Structure 1
Amino acid sequence: MAQPAHPGCRDRLRHAADPAKEALRATNPPQYTEKVLALSRDPLLEEFRTRLQRHPVSADGRKSALRHLCRALTVYGIALADLTPGTLVHYANAHPGCGIAGAWPLLRDMGVLPAWVPQTLQDARIRGRQSVDDLVDRHQLRNREIRDLLVDYIRRRAVEVDYGTLDNLVRNLVRYFWKIVEEINPDQADLRLHEDIVQAWKERLLVRQDGKPRQHIDGPFLAVRAFYLDLQTWSAAEPERWGRWVAPCPIRDADLRWFHVRRRRLQERMANRTRERQPLLATLSEHVTTEWHRLRTLLDAAKQARLGEQFVVDGVTWQRAASKATARRPELLGSEPVRVINRDTGELVRLTHEQNSVFWQWAVVETLRLAGLRREELVELTHLSVRQYQRPNGEVVALLVVSPSKSDRERVIPMSAELFHVTAQIIRRHREEHGTVPVCPRYDQSERTWCEPLPYLFQRVQSGTPRALSTSGVRQIVLDAAKALIPTHPQFAEIRFAPHDFRRLFATDLVNNGLPIHIGAALLGHLDIQTTRGYVAVFDEDVIAHYTEFLDRRRAKRPSTEYRRPTDGEWSDFQEHFDKRKVELGSCGRPYGTPCAHEHACIRCPMLSINPKMLPRLDELEADLLARRQRAIDEGWRGEVEGLDLTLRFLRSKRAQAHRAAAATGSVDLGMPPRPGGRSGTGQGIGTGGFRGA
């Protein structure tokens, strides 16, 4: 091969590559890959070819990756050792949809690409965070002094906000404010705006670029108002820096007077959106569940069939098919994706791919529906989010720990039987495919940063490498699931489901079923109960008002001392009460503020809840009581015999109750990692209280 071109010169690469690229595309030489391998005699290229055979992608994907890698080396006139990340990205951009992405992870593992590059080509194309200067300059402002002022102001505000808020602040101040002002008056040199310009800006802001009315104008209004007022405040401390820019704020009090009215109109639109989607939720859930079960049954039947063999599923005749590479090498049939042909219609179905897509549709839709999570909370769920909690009666409850997101507070959700089933199926799928839940990185699209690798539950394989699902991917999955229903349910053509719609529907369903609204706020992670009230669409405002009045009247009848803040001593005594309820045989259920009425004769106390782990201890106590009873009989202590009989009766009743609790608790293997300092190995289970998650 020819000597490599300079890897840092993109313009030279672009111009030099075009003739060779067009020549290869026009001629398409036969057996080009084999010829390049034979002529180059590159041991590194041969090593890549060997590793590629073990890469977890299809035979067609491996063939395409090797073919395009050979073409890239020819086009740029370099050896494999001289290949750079920029060269590979340039080739991929020039050939959209080519299989060169499958070669990237292997080249990185071999050391051809440096270790600092992302693990996949798709990740390498992510731009990441931009500086404040770049965020402002993308709008191409005319006035350089105003541009520098906005950069300095936003950079100072960036210290106290996250990147998503910073990006939104730039959009409100630059795109929705000053960019429009410059379009109205290109000669505007300072922040002191004439009333005609202010009115023209407000009129332009009310209409989007597509001609539709803008629904959310409070964001730009509040950002501009804060901008002007901050400059006035800062100018008192730093007049030499900010004093010249002080000007009257274009956002008048009258502009914000209707703020609460617009907020109510927004809540009305959201409530109406929820009412429209509530009747369709069951249809969507049933569709994704039925479709997954149908394709799973079809895939199981197809795996049992040989190549070319026909089989029948639900009255439809199918035939096992394969790619050309698999047809030439039948030994690859077990490791290649399953393909089938519908003999009635002649349609070729990539069954493994379709079943995988439908499974994740089902998992995403059902988790959003049953847990009421935000989409960023959904993609942050990991294998470590599944926890177990042992109640005082010995029952083990499955919990879902939701990482802090919008409210920056972690919360715990008790999992229902349905939600536990979905979680167990996700973990089971990962364990069947990879042996465990793979540890993979995740890109935070809001913060534009890479998160540390964790065993994320919602992850897909990308170019043979596990990748955590993105928030935009969640949105697209929900849209695709609803779009598939349009042929049979035309009402879905006019209604688009968004991931956040499931959160509002979840809140509405909770309150409809009688759950107190403050408990719903805790499950949803709302810091203010008013936010939860805004989510509940079916509750009229007068119903909420009556409920609030009822609470006020009930509290008014209670002594005011009950609502004071407890002292440190009272709070310590309250916590100590629960510590004292823990006894040898289990847990005592006596309420706070009450002493032990049975003088710690726990085995006779109806408030004692036996831990099933202490059943052997009950057997020891029974043997001791029987021995004491026999001696009492021998000595003629009739009163002692009567007391021991009463204790034995309570003991046997408690033992039967503990046996019933233990028998009603099943377990499912989730492969949960051991706790620090706990038992090692997998196989830990979570009690399901009579249901099985898988």
Structure 2
Amino acid sequence: MTAREQITRKPDRLSPTATAPLKGAAWKALTAKFPARTVPDSWPASTHSAEEVLERLDRPPLRAANMSTHCARRLAARHILAWLESFPGESWHQRWSASSAHRMGSRWRTEALAWLHARNVNVREEELRSGLLALLCADVFRPDLGWLSENCRRLHWRIAMTVHRDPDGFRRLEELADSGLWDATLGLRARNQLAILLMAKGGVINDITVGDCLELREIEIKTLSLKGGGHSLFYSLLKGLGTFPGDAPATLRGMTVHTGQVGVGQLVDRYSLQFGPARDVIVDYLSERQPVMDYTSLENLSRVLALHFWKNLELHNPGIESFHLTPEVAAAWKHRLQTKTAQRKQPDGSVIDVVSPRRNVVQLMSLVRAFYLDIAQWAAEDPSRWGVWAAPCPISQAECTHKKHISHRKARMDQRTRERLPALPTLVAAADKQLKNARIRLDAVRAAQARQSFTVLGEVFAKATSSTSANPESSTMVTDAAGRRRDLGQAEKRAFWSWAAVEFFRHTGVRIEEMLETSHHSITQYTLPGTGELIPLLQIAPSKTDEERLLVVGPELADVLSAIVCRVRDSTGAIPLVESYDMFEKTWNPPMPLLFQWRSGGQDRRISESLIRRGLTEILQESGLTDAAGEPLHYQPHDFRRIFTTEAIMNGMPPHIAQLILGHKDIGTTMGYKAVYPEEAINGHRAFIARRRELRPSEEYRAPTDVEWDEFLGHFERRKVALGDCGRAYGTSCQHEHSCVRCPLLRVDPAQRPRLQEIQENLTARIDEAEREGWLGEAEGLRVSLAATNAKLAQLGERTRRAATINLGIPTFREIVGRTATLPALKGPATE
């Protein structure tokens, strides 16, 4: 926390920023597009009599292979049907709905048992459960998904539905699943979900719709809090059958958290503005600007106008109804805009508000100023629509000056680059070491037997079972010495993709979204017309500037790309097609053979930005790098882009070529990425001195005469004094009247220590004499000389201690000198 930050215990009035968040908007649109099947009140199997139902249970495929199991299920089913007959309805499903069972959850058996016991029917709770299973397999009635999700997730329910309802459908799904996954924890969970869908909606596997799957996942998330990608494997298996429509989503992973694109009204309404007419004007303004803006910019503009501008004014000025702000209101709003409030969790678990300066305040005020100026211009063109809202702009042009902001940002970014560029080799070495160690651990756990302890890299592990494979021998899950479970297979995956990201970043200088959208199609080659030489190229898909570009692939980058391609290929040699979510445009990209993908939870998916950032953090922790303040050094993916630019230009790449490689529209942006180093200023200054020297009088650079040379050499001879050497510069006279003891330029010869001690004793005696005789002025001057003598003796002691250091074998200058020049005599002409 900086000195400028202020901590307050009271929450800021503006802290509830979004009362209607957009999270899950994409899910709502998906459920509206793919509605779930409705359950009718009756169907043929639900209208049969009790005897007809029991007769169906006696015939395959509903008849259990074990006779005792079949008899127990049949008898319990008879009792349940007798109980349901006590409720009104023309079908068994209507009677089930009329009973209290669908509202009581697992307690329905208590009600049924009480009714049966009252009629002298002896039956146990476990028997009723088996009878219910037989009736659900026969599709006699269909409980809702919520009831089934809470009460029917046992092993025998899944097995019974697989055997008695649709064995062929389950067999086809098993063929689509990975080897060993069908009987692993993830596979069993998916089969449970499929069985629940069949019991709730009826039919067979091919009858399940996209809407059914969406309804089940929504219930699991909201009611049972079953989140995570591993709970959507059942949908991916169904999608692989080819029964879903072509526009069905490729996966349900992450669908509930993505917002998707929403309308302008929803973007504004998430902030619950109080004054409706102002809300309508902002919506109309955004609608006018929407055709020429991308979705990210539109969302940002809606946030600025609705939250930072009007919501802020409403919270601090209740009842405000006009864009015409008084000077006091405008000044207070601009003052509040200078800071932002963020919540920070403390070690004791409490949460406090941290107020810090807002760095992008100039951009926010620029957007509000543009809002005022646009409405003023549109009011002249369409007075009936915009004229009533035209008002003087409360923000002047001077307040929107970006010059100081840009210079401060440039200084911060240059400092980051200067700190991180020298540390890049250490970071690269740490990433490589982490990957090698992860592979060593992975090889060790694969070679170990199930539940066997083994030691690798000084750590002791015990092999454990895994949720992704039914074979315990193929598990990569271990328990370390502290009792924590660790998946060494997942650790090796994270280490590989962290290493690949570091190498990709530093060799290409691309943005993180561009790296994650790089596909197998991006790797191409170009044949030179003259020589026929093949030049490997990497095509970067359009991102921020909507302009694609090509990079030449060097040998190092080619090795990285080769390692990635070899890793992501499937058993057929092809790279799987993966749908990815564009975090900026809030849309799903079409399936592509992305390079940065992995298989997680039995599904192929794109690697996320958060995983790349966590990987960088793990590498930095491994490397132990620190900044100038001694704090752990942090790398952002964009730091590699600035480092790439700085290295390229410093090593001779023309800035306009670097501009094309980076995809910048303005060369000024490219030069802004290039960090300024002190060496450049030094070299520039030296070049200036050389140019200035060329303009000075030529006689200053003539050859010296013999007299001038003798005078120069004689200067060094005259610097020799009794106590040592005088350090005054050539051409200067003594400024201390040859009082050498007091002179700071005197460098005492260690051999003259006895002489200096004699002077010290003499000065002490003379001071005593002057004090006895009353010569106070003489005594004061002698004390100054004595202090200078003591200082000279202290300097000699320090030099003696430094000379007494241990000899490390490094030769001194006197030992490596090649020859010794002899100075000529002072009298006579200079000789060579």
- The offset of 1:312, in angstroms, is 6.5
Equivalent residue, structure 1, for 2:359? 215
Paired residue for 1:281, among 424, 442, 460?
Answer: 424
Q: Does 1:418 align with 2:418?
A: no
Note the alpha carbon deviations across 1:278-333, whole angstroms, 9 max, x for none: 3333232222211112222443454455546677655767665544996xx75x74
Task: Report matched runs for 1:607-618 at 5 Å.
Answer: none
- The offset of 1:102, in angstroms, is 1.7
SS at match of 2:324: coil
8 Å CA contact 2:162, 2:170 repeated in 1? no
Paired residue for 1:356, among 493, 497, 502?
Answer: 493
Larger radius of gyration: 2
Q: Does 1:33 align with 2:158?
A: no
Q: Which amino acid aligns with 2:493?
A: N
SS at match of 1:452: strand
- The offset of 1:275, in angstroms, is 2.2
SS at match of 1:413: strand
What's the C-alpha RMSD, in Å, of the aligned pairs? 3.9
Q: Which amino acid aligns with 2:157?
A: K
Paired residue for 1:63, among 188, 191, 201?
Answer: 188
Q: Does 1:466 align with 2:611?
A: no
CA–CA distance in 1 between the matches of 2:150 and 2:393?
65
Equivalent residue, structure 2, for 1:600? none
Equivalent residue, structure 1, for 2:219? 91
Equivalent residue, structure 1, for 2:380? 236
8 Å CA contact 1:483, 1:493 repeated in 2? no
Paired residue for 1:377, among 514, 517, 533?
Answer: 514
CA–CA distance in 2 between the matches of 1:458 and 1:308?
33
Q: Does 1:102 align with 2:233?
A: yes
Rate the CA distance shift 1:393–1:127 in 2: closer, same or farther, 3 A. Answer: same
Note the alpha carbon deviations across 1:412-467, whole angstroms, 9 max, x for none: 11122211111110001122656221122221111111222221111122442322
- The offset of 1:89, in angstroms, is 2.1
Q: Does 1:498 align with 2:628?
A: no
Note the alpha carbon deviations across 1:40-82, whole angstroms, 9 max, x for none: 86534762366246413741211232335546777x6867756
Equivalent residue, structure 1, for 2:296? 164
Paired residue for 2:547, among 409, 412, 417?
Answer: 409
Equivalent residue, structure 2, for 1:386? 523
SS at match of 2:302: helix
SS at match of 1:120: coil
- Identify the range of structure 1 (89-98 vs 23-32) with the bigger mean alpha-carbon deviation: 23-32
Equivalent residue, structure 2, for 1:186? 318
Rate the CA distance shift 1:20–1:442 in 2: closer, same or farther, 3 A. Answer: same
Equivalent residue, structure 2, for 1:119? 250
Q: Does 1:152 align with 2:288?
A: no
CA–CA distance in 1 between the matches of 2:323 and 2:656?
46
Unaligned runs of 5+ in 2: 1-36, 42-96, 109-145, 343-354, 692-832
8 Å CA contact 1:231, 1:245 repeated in 2? yes
Note the alpha carbon deviations across 1:546-592, whole angstroms, 9 max, x for none: 69x99xx9xxxxxxxxxxxxxxxxxxxxxxxxxxxxxxxxxxxxxxx
Rate the CA distance shift 1:297–1:472 in 2: closer, same or farther, 3 A. Answer: closer
Paired residue for 1:254, among 374, 395, 398?
Answer: 398
Q: Does 1:200 align with 2:332?
A: yes
Paired residue for 2:105, among 3, 9, 20?
Answer: 20
8 Å CA contact 1:459, 1:467 repeated in 2? yes
Q: Which amino acid aligns with 1:179?
A: K
SS at match of 2:248: coil
Note the alpha carbon deviations across 1:157-193, whole angstroms, 9 max, x for none: 0000110111111111111111111112121112101
Q: Which amino acid aligns with 1:350?
A: D
Rate the CA distance shift 1:433–1:278 in 2: closer, same or farther, 3 A. Answer: farther
Note the alpha carbon deviations across 1:386-437, whole angstroms, 9 max, x for none: 1112344444222111122222222111122211111110001122656221
- The offset of 1:18, in angstroms, is 8.2
Q: Which amino acid aligns with 1:250?
A: P
CA–CA distance in 1 between the matches of 2:192 and 2:622?
35
Quote the sequence identity (%): 32
8 Å CA contact 1:4, 1:79 repeated in 2? no
Task: Report matched runs for 1:304-453 at 5 Å.
Answer: 304=447, 306-307=449-450, 321-323=464-466, 333=473, 336-340=474-478, 349-391=486-528, 392-431=530-569, 435-453=573-591
Q: Which amino acid aligns with 2:337?
A: L
Unaligned runs of 5+ in 1: 554-694
Q: Which amino acid aligns with 2:405?
A: R
8 Å CA contact 2:372, 2:392 repeated in 1? yes
- Identify the range of structure 1 (184-193 vs 295-304) with the bigger mean alpha-carbon deviation: 295-304
Equivalent residue, structure 2, for 1:598? none
- TM norm structure 2: 0.57
Rate the CA distance shift 1:167–1:492 in 2: closer, same or farther, 3 A. Answer: farther
- Identify the range of structure 1 (146-155 vs 411-420) with the bigger mean alpha-carbon deviation: 411-420
